Structure 1
């Protein structure tokens, strides 16, 4: 079956359909990963986007449930050069096409993904319509003109957990605020025996205090950080009370809560080969990234933020820390392993920061706190 992808600038790609049938809209982006298409498909940060893979062969090792980064894929469409419907991998449980069909996602293959990527690099990310229907081109262009930016927003509520849940451990209690969290973050915390409580994106500061955390993890997530102002307010209210570690969207929200500003990148950073320099050590790390926004460097002036990491390609900010409070963040994904696992040390740094904070700020025994509260009521 034929599939078509129409870009906002009027460029039309005609190829072969795989996955579901129908019509879907989204922001057209590209990912430079050679492998990891399953992690891309199931990363909540891709919610609302039609993802183009720059590597030409996709589907050759199939889909394995154990490698999901969330309960389901959230992409709005998938564009590839060549789709392999028969995987060659003993772990494969089904094909990429089967996964897309199960969740109503349209795939298009046999198009010039190099040309598509060059268009996005030159003009920036843009809106797109992916369809398997036979609508006239003029009708698709009218639909494109009627699309509003609001259709590509509100992704955080779509990907966040609706209810609190626990992943018990015997170590430090971590409240993981879910803005569209990848499973890898919870997995890294569990490996360190943390007692993790995952809460929805709109959980208030007072509700978090009642959970009595030792630290707070700000997760990744999709979209523009300015679309979730309630998250910024919550983080600002809790700054200084608990150690915090922000990842990707959590990094941007921490920056906004500290008085900095964010801006949209031309075509974003998406892939598993982005070099990031840690300024303190001078080391360069190869990182996995997926974001379309960045912290504005000029807006850091006059805040209590310090830059800790930069992108070696375009020099954008990749890491921040607070000069007064035990809080730091990174723009990339330390829970991901685009080859080595050398970025997971940041979770150890987070726990070391929590333990130091507990030594310097010992909590009042609960019995004494209850007695003081009762005495105050009298």
Structure 2
């Protein structure tokens, strides 16, 4: 173990002298994460590398224009290919990373429709050397598995300006991504409030109440080409039988056979999301996407890259999952936001 630490330290010193630039760092792991020591040198890592898009600023300008009433570009949504022209990396960026990968025996795989994400697999020792870092194994009291992360990651100078994110490295995403704890509630039809002017002893907020509070029409939607996507994470699924019972109880005016299209075992949070979405958005076509994995940052990336490749994506997306943005790190948070900006620029009709 001592020899491994020494070799890693010498490698970092050598790389630093060869022109390494600190890409992202943090002084310590977030609360709850405890280092169990350096990661074994021969353990294999699969890292996702975000290549710099060729014109994110231009895409942001387009989105601002198409979403601003009175702008010449208002509602001039972009096609899939037009979005790709902004998001894909430049030939110079692709060439720079390809040269780096080839020189170090890496075989990158493109994992996104827009070509801005690639995946590489390499041993811990090589990752430590290439990115002037030291990967460690971390535990968290609320997580059953360990994770391999680092507190600092650097780029060789020839990749500066060509790589936005290396993930997972300094990103520590907590184990619970729900906005609020969900709990099971037992109640019968006689207890259901007719409107927000009534109250339930269990504190249940009904679809009718939400419609009154926010002025959401209770009449059925007429534009069937508009659709609403509900996303769920942590391997949770929604259950059609539970949705049917929910509608019978809280929206008896809607057919209890109303269901959703699954683009992928039920979970409490996923059930909650699909039930209230269906109960509030009367007869709007609903789609449901369950994203696996226990790393929320990766799941958010998987969501955007999946939808990037859908020819006719849903008009609106909703979720009730969240996490502490600071735990993502600036580069990761920015890349995720840019991914959803790209989706928001797409034409849906």
Q: TM-score, normalised by structure 1?
A: 0.25
Q: TM-score, normalised by structure 2?
A: 0.26
Q: Which protein has the bigger helix share?
A: 2
Whose radius of gyration is greater, 1 or 2? 2
